Chains A and B, each alone.
Chain A
């Protein structure tokens, strides 16, 4: 009855820009899981990851007018919002301080039966694909994509010339792409 159960991408974008809550509901149902998985790959603390997801969707709703279809798909745009927020979170002072107090190597979360489940972030999404790269490539993607360091910062951290950082990241990304196929 006027509420479509699926949307084509242009329909979805148009209704979202009209601030239609039904289409935002569809967007959430469709993409929250994929985006949540990305957040968990960057922010291993589930409570913080929840906050990032919440903030990300509120940002998506607020900033939808600034989304430009000509520059990429809606999902890519959302992915970048999510990634930036997640990286801001792990690079914040508060997070850095809390990490000093409790070093958690992996993600723990409560499943539906309220049991503690062990979630290994290396087993999901891009992280899993990353495992197939050479170590010198893997570390650069981890620093650049999952930790949000600029090429200049990586050059300093890894003590590799800036040009090498750039070419290695590119070649790592191309390899990643091969793995995605």
Chain B
């Protein structure tokens, strides 16, 4: 072998710069061991490269250094912990003291496995947290709609109770029904109008159903009169602004007939001053 020729073939530069393939590298490493000149040539070139690189140094941003050091400190602590657990485990003592490749391999496996576990668990965590937040949203929606249903149900129940009460009034055996048609009042301003009065003879409770009445003007209200011996007594007022089917009027002890007049809005009058609309005898 002509060593000088070998040195000047470019293999030194190829090897040092990491461009030589495996065969060339293995051969070069053997040549370095065999021939001090080859090794010297390699070192000379390495130094030249290193000097060029040092002369062309560019200072990196400072934060990189602190990142590097915080990372290696974390790793040092982990290794210390790992070392302690190796020492404390009885099987570790039987292993040969120096077993770097194997250790490295196991270390790599553990790293790979834990990385894989980390990735899988991260994905699962994201997946489930998304699912759980979706479920939470849906749960809140369900709660809201359940509340709405409850409200609607309460309204419906109270309406049903009202209707049941109204029905009870009409079907009650103590209840006297008195129809008050406009026909009985020759001068009625609304000849088509009609109300029905329900009077419980036992409890004296009085109710009114406005079957057909014109809606009074904003400053007017209807007043019901209980007639005893031709004398009118106040039996309560109504204005038809509510949608009640059955309007509760004043308790009335005795009556021969009932009549409705249109009065000025306000407190109940003691005597009718407005026009009579409807009237009916018991």
Q: Are A126 and B46 within 8 A (Cβ)?
A: no
A19 sits at the interface (CB 8 A)? yes
Query: Which A residue sits closest to B54, measured CB to CB?
Result: A34
Q: Are B42 and A33 within 8 A (Cβ)?
A: no
In the complex, what residues of B have CB within 8 A of residue A129's CB? 52
Q: Are B8 and A174 within 8 A (Cβ)?
A: yes
- Indicate the size class of the contact surface on chain A: 35 or more
Chain A 27-41 per-residue mask, 1 if CB under 8 angstroms from chain B, else 0: 010001111111010
A133 sits at the interface (CB 8 A)? no
Q: Are A177 and B48 within 8 A (Cβ)?
A: yes
Interface of B, secondary structure class, is helix
Q: Are A124 and B64 within 8 A (Cβ)?
A: no
State which residues 69-103 of B face A: CB under 8 Å. 69, 71-73, 75-76, 79, 100
Q: Are A76 and B16 within 8 A (Cβ)?
A: yes
Number of interface residues of B (CB under 8 A): 43
Q: Are B10 and A37 within 8 A (Cβ)?
A: no
Q: Are B57 and A173 within 8 A (Cβ)?
A: no
* Chain B CB within 10 Å, residue with most, of A21, A65, A73: A73
CB of A140, distance to nearest CB on chain B (Å): 10
The CA of A70 and the CA of B43, in the complex, are separated in Å by 11
Work out how many contacts link A and B, with CB atoms closer than 8 A: 118
A48 sits at the interface (CB 8 A)? no
Query: Which B residue sits closest to A177, measured CB to CB?
Result: B13
In the complex, what residues of B have CB within 8 A of residue A19's CB? 76, 79
Query: Which A residue sits closest to B16, measured CB to CB?
Result: A76
Interface of A, secondary structure class, is helix
Q: Are B68 and A76 within 8 A (Cβ)?
A: no
Query: Which A residue sits closest to B29, measured CB to CB?
Result: A71
Q: A54-B64, A58-B68, A180-B52 are in contact. Are A173 and B10 (CB under 8 A)?
A: yes
In the complex, what residues of A have CB within 8 A of residue B75's CB? 61-62
Interface residues of A (CB under 8 A from B): 19, 21, 24-25, 28, 32-38, 40, 50, 53-54, 57-58, 61-62, 65, 70-73, 75-76, 79-80, 83-84, 119, 124-126, 128-129, 144-145, 151, 169-171, 173-174, 176-177, 180-181
Given A79-B53, A174-B8, A180-B49, 13 more pairs with CB closer than 8 A: A19-B76, A32-B59, A32-B60, A32-B64, A54-B71, A58-B72, A61-B75, A70-B32, A128-B56, A145-B17, A169-B10, A169-B14, A173-B17
